[in-house]
Structure 1
Amino acid sequence: MPKTTLHAWSRFIGQATYALTWVAAAAMVMMIVLIVVSVFMRYALHQPLLGSNELIQLTSVVLVMAALPYCTFEEGHIRVDILDNFIGRWGRLIGDLVFRLTSIFVLSLLSYRAVIKGLDALRWGDATNMLSLPIWPLYIVLATGSALCVLVFVGQTILIVTERDAS
């Protein structure tokens, strides 16, 4: 793949992950406000906010799946390099490729299944127990976050292979 195409691909994916990060940030702010209001209502006014736990759970899904692609793009995941010196350069290369290819496979399945489940939830009108909120939008966020993560891993895999070929 030509360097200009690879650079354009990387820039597009970076912008898409950054945009989705704003969704995660909004979910984080919403969750913080909801928790503060819920705690205040429960302990200061003795009036628990019904459905707050359900809203916090739904917001958690949005927060995690919207932030995951950006964290992956920035390589912000926790990494343990205990064996790096032992396995050497080729071992790290193979490990990086196996990790990314496995992640591509698993996250592709997750994205596919989330689309299928989201369509089912939309068709059947699935909703949460207490507040009767539709759950299909959560499946969209789940599918979008995992699909974007797959694209990030594909780009990283291409970079790993092309950089090794150049050296």
Structure 2
Amino acid sequence: MTSEPAGPVGWYHRGLCALIHFLGWIAGAGLMAMVLVTTCDVVLRIFRSSFKGAYDIVCIAAALTVAASLPYTTAIKGHVAIEYFFHKLGRRGRLVVDTIMRVLVIALFCLLAWQSVKYGNSLKSSGTVSMTVQLPIFWVPYVLAASCVLVVLITFYHLTHPGKELMKP
């Protein structure tokens, strides 16, 4: 027997989990890219050489890693909470505060997604590229916007299914 809901809610749940896992792999790849590029740059500097564009690649990989890890952290409820004050409230108070916070998170991440798309559009129209290797970077805010939209969908799931976890860590 599975703990997944049936019907459209099940599809929503499975789709969210698939996207979260996909972005988790992207976050892991970004982290590995940062480690490999930094290691290569350090080793090459021992031989009086350098890795051209290491800074650009590490900055882009860091942005992708942070953006891609947001949905996973939200899904497992891994964000920092003020437990001391939260546990001082009764069950009803916790439910009210939790609901208000989730609605605020949805509003904040909708705003962040919208502004990220606007920023990506401005980078694209101006033709902005990275400093040393001249990589176009307009797509990085688009990835952040997609992650923010996924965080909104995850938070909506948590809002409509209180007490149920979307996935285990």
- TM-score, scaled to structure 1: 0.87
Equivalent in the alignment of 1:165: none
The alpha-carbon deviation at position 70 of structure 1 amounts to: 1.3
Equivalent in the alignment of 2:167: none
The alpha-carbon deviation at position 6 of structure 1 amounts to: 2.7
Indicate the percent of aligned positions where both proteins have the same amino acid. 25
Matches within 5 A, 1:67-106: 67-106=69-108
Match of 1:29 among 23, 27, 32: 32
Taking the aligned partners of 1:100 and 1:108, their CA distance within structure 2 comes to: 12
Match of 2:22 among 6, 19, 28: 19
The alpha-carbon deviation at position 53 of structure 1 amounts to: 1.9
The alpha-carbon deviation at position 161 of structure 1 amounts to: 9.2
Taking the aligned partners of 2:56 and 2:163, their CA distance within structure 1 comes to: 44
Matches within 5 A, 1:2-151: 4-42=7-45, 44-151=46-153
The alpha-carbon deviation at position 122 of structure 1 amounts to: 1.6
1:87-124, Cα deviation, whole Å (9 max, x unpaired): 11112112211221111111111111111221222222
Taking the aligned partners of 1:69 and 1:37, their CA distance within structure 2 comes to: 30
Specify the SS of the correspondent of 1:108.
helix
Alignment gaps of 5+ in structure 2: 165-169
RMSD of the TM alignment (CA)?
A: 2.0
| One-letter code aligned to 2:29 | A
Cα–Cα, structure 1 residues 49 and 139, in superposed 2: closer, same or farther, change >3 Å?
Answer: same
Alignment gaps of 5+ in structure 1: 163-167
| One-letter code aligned to 1:19 | F
Query: What is the number of equivalent residue pairs in this alignment?
Result: 160
Taking the aligned partners of 1:36 and 1:109, their CA distance within structure 2 comes to: 37
The alpha-carbon deviation at position 50 of structure 1 amounts to: 3.2
Taking the aligned partners of 2:101 and 2:56, their CA distance within structure 1 comes to: 34
Larger deviation, residues 88-97 vs 141-150: 88-97
